[in-house]
Structure 1
Amino acid sequence: MDTPAIGAGTLATTAILITLGYALACSVGPFKACRRCTGTGRRRSPSGRAFRECRRCDGTGRRLRAGRRLYNRINQVRRDGTR
């Protein structure tokens, strides 16, 4: 085999492994910590004195991963199409 073919095969294998790893992460742990409140569910008010619930995560501190959101959307379309 020549070098470009080996490189392309390695790149394709790596991309497949990364994709499968992310899919596994989305199925095992569909939620991640909210980036805005760093997973606490609270943010400081503009004055800096009081705390308020984070609007992005609704005070839970967790957000749905993008891959899981895509998976849920695909399943919803499939369910709606089979009715």
Structure 2
Amino acid sequence: MTPALLAIACLIAITLGYGGLCAVSPLGTCRKCRGFGFAMTTDRKGRLKRGKHCRRCDGHGKCIRLGRWLYNRAVRIHHAGTR
């Protein structure tokens, strides 16, 4: 097996794996708040306390994955174009 074919097979496997992940679990943890739903801050003594509400995930701790967002957009465009 040539290195080019091996690289193409690896890319196809990674793509199908990510597509399957997006199909099974369309929501992933928010990268900004790390799934907490709020930012962690420290007080003057250095102790952790709850910070501001996360605007990216609206406090849920979950965001839609990029692959699922692209899939939803493609379905929406296809649906609008075939009416």
TM-score, normalization by structure 1: 0.83
Name the residue aligned to 1:81.
Answer: 81
Matched, 1:33 2:29: yes
Q: State the secondary structure of the residue aligned to 1:43.
A: strand
Map 1:40-79 → 2, pairs under 5 A: 40-44=36-40, 51-79=51-79
Do structure 1's residue 6 and structure 2's residue 5 form an aligned pair?
no
Deviations 1:4-54 (A, max 9, x none): x71111111111000000000000011111111110111257x88653321
What secondary structure, in the 3-state scheme, does the structure 1 residue paired with 2:2 have? helix
Unaligned runs of 5+ in 1: none
Aligned partners of 2:21 and 2:6: how far apart in 1?
22
Structure 2: distance between partners of 1:18 and 1:50: 37
**Normalized per residue, which structure has more strand?**
2
TM-score normalised by structure 2 residue count: 0.83
User: Structure 1 counterpart of 2:51, which letter?
Assistant: F
Identity level (%) = 41
CA RMSD, 1 decimal: 1.9
Amino acid in the other structure paired with 2:20? L
Task: Give the length in aligned residue pairs.
Answer: 78
